[in-house]
Amino acid sequence: MEIPRGFKQEMKERIRYYIYEEHGEEIGELAAENWLHFFAEELAVPFYNQGVADASEMMNQKIMSTEEDLEALKRPVKGKK
């Protein structure tokens, strides 16, 4: 996965800040890059997949709502009960 340079640098800084704030440890650029790589390769996929599943569910709900709206627009055929 290719992460844009500016975003990558920002994420590494956030990781370094988090480690310092939570554990009182300063980590270097390489350690932050290793953490970022771990997050991107190991943890991002389940979050991504959940996002896709959530989007799919939302689309299904919108399709059902649209089908209901279209059904309500139908007019009765004369002479048919």
Nearest-angstrom CA–CA distance, 63 and 54: 14
pLDDT in tens, 17-67: 999 999 999 999 999 999 999 998 899 999 999 999 999 999 999 999 999
Residue-level length of the chain: 81
Nearest-angstrom CA–CA distance, 4 and 15: 16
Question: Minimal CA–CA distance to 14: which of 3, 4, 1, 27?
Answer: 27
Residue 79, pLDDT score: 80
Q: Residue 36 in contact with residue 15, Cβ under 8 Å?
A: yes
Q: Residue 81: which pLDDT band, with cuts at 50, 70 and 90?
A: low
pTM: 0.62
